[in-house]
A = this chain, B = another copy of it.
């Protein structure tokens, strides 16, 4: 998807560097500079946490001209270019190597910041420690420490959109996408005023990636890869709200990833942050819960999606077609064990040309009682399962109602 560079209009000061998205090297591609008011700006959008940053500037706590001191911040593991980087449309594949790729430009005062961070971490997940206590998991001192911590290589990836590529993924015209983004948000007027700028840094959260096993093996099609693409649901993920299967499915995937890594394979947990309430937001999510729980016919699997559509006008707002880019960035071409039943995620992987050998359902014992409504509705909607629910099951699967 290499496109000919378009020359950005110059405002004043340091020269904007044209971006050649899809180029084989960072230098040929050019650095992404989305800072508003920066004369070298060559992208639309802005800095993540822009509002908090602006408040810190208004209060006098942050000098708006401060340039990040990037000494010693480089990745703990260097993910290298794969053939698939040219197909990426929603992140900057060179986002982790700006200090080495653009050392000269940084010296000249260009404001270039990493959009990907890579570090190491150790995770303590109580359910994993329980599995160790039960004897179903065994520590090896490497993937799983004797103290029960999971050793991971961890990345965080900001979203950076190449608008022509994103439009193509979504199956819409780029002009239509630009106009709709502007019309519906009322912001980012440059989307329509600056067709010379191809790249947009959207104001939405990015993706965490947790890698278990030897990161040098990531992407080797002959090495067993266990993968979950997980969409954040803080109420379940953090504090175990029992109305959905989010945390349980992630925990199941973490157990399978540990197993894979302990057997010489790789485990990859992709965690998308801009997906709360199927990307409809938390308030709508709670309103939908209430409408479900107050349905005179009960909170049935049959009417699970109807309630979402009534309240939000749509059952799901997640942008599945972009969710595979972190895997393209890692160079993953084959997933041996996909911990997901979602047909939407599976279709996105197919479209991205990532082979899926086997798909694993969440085991029955991981599903909270009140989450049966959700999982049964999803199975009926096309989720991968060996047990497609009957009409009778759809109407008979009923969740808790509101108390008192």
Contacts and interface: CB of A to CB of B under 8 A. Distances in A.
Contacts of A158: 281-283
A73 B287 contact: yes
A10 interface: no
A24 interface: no
B234 A208 contact: yes
Interface range on chain A (Cβ under 8 Å from partner): 35 or more
A62 B313 contact: yes
A53 B127 contact: no
Given A70-B311, A156-B285, A158-B283, A204 B234 contact: no
Interface in A100-121: 113-121
Given A149-B242, A280-B49, A62 B314 contact: yes
Contacts of A155: 286
How many protomers of this protein does the assembly include?
Answer: 2
Given A76-B402, A210-B239, A370-B122, A154 B50 contact: no
B127 A126 contact: yes
Contacts of A71: 291, 310
Contacts of A130: 126
A172 interface: yes
Interface stretch (A13-21, A175-183, A217-225, A260-268): A175-183
A226 B66 CA distance: 40
A290 B62 contact: no
Interface stretch (A185-193, A357-365, A387-395): A185-193
Nearest to A75: B290
Given A73-B311, A242-B124, A318-B52, A117 B232 contact: no
Contacts of A59: 170-172
Interface in A48-81: 48-59, 61-64, 66, 68-76
Contact of A240 (B70, B126, B239, B289): B126
A56 B314 contact: yes
A28 interface: no
Interface string A300-343: 00000000001111100111000000000000000000000000
Contacts of A317: 49, 52-53, 55-56, 61-62
A71 B295 CA distance: 10
A136 interface: no
Contact of A76 (B205, B208, B290, B319): B290
A6 interface: no
Contacts of A75: 290
A291 B176 contact: no
A5 interface: no
16 contacts: A36-B183, A48-B281, A49-B279, A54-B185, A55-B181, A55-B319, A62-B314, A64-B184, A69-B311, A73-B291, A113-B283, A119-B286, A121-B241, A155-B286, A206-B283, A237-B237
Interface of A: 36-37, 46-59, 61-64, 66, 68-76, 113-127, 130, 149, 154-156, 158, 170-172, 176-177, 180-181, 183-188, 202-206, 208, 210, 232, 234-235, 237-243, 247, 250, 254, 271, 273-274, 276, 279-291, 293-295, 310-314, 317-319, 368, 370, 400, 402-403
The 5 closest A-B pairs by CB, nearest first: A36-B186, A117-B286, A66-B313, A126-B126, A54-B184
Given A55-B181, A238-B247, 7 more contacts: A36-B184, A48-B282, A52-B317, A55-B170, A121-B243, A122-B241, A124-B240
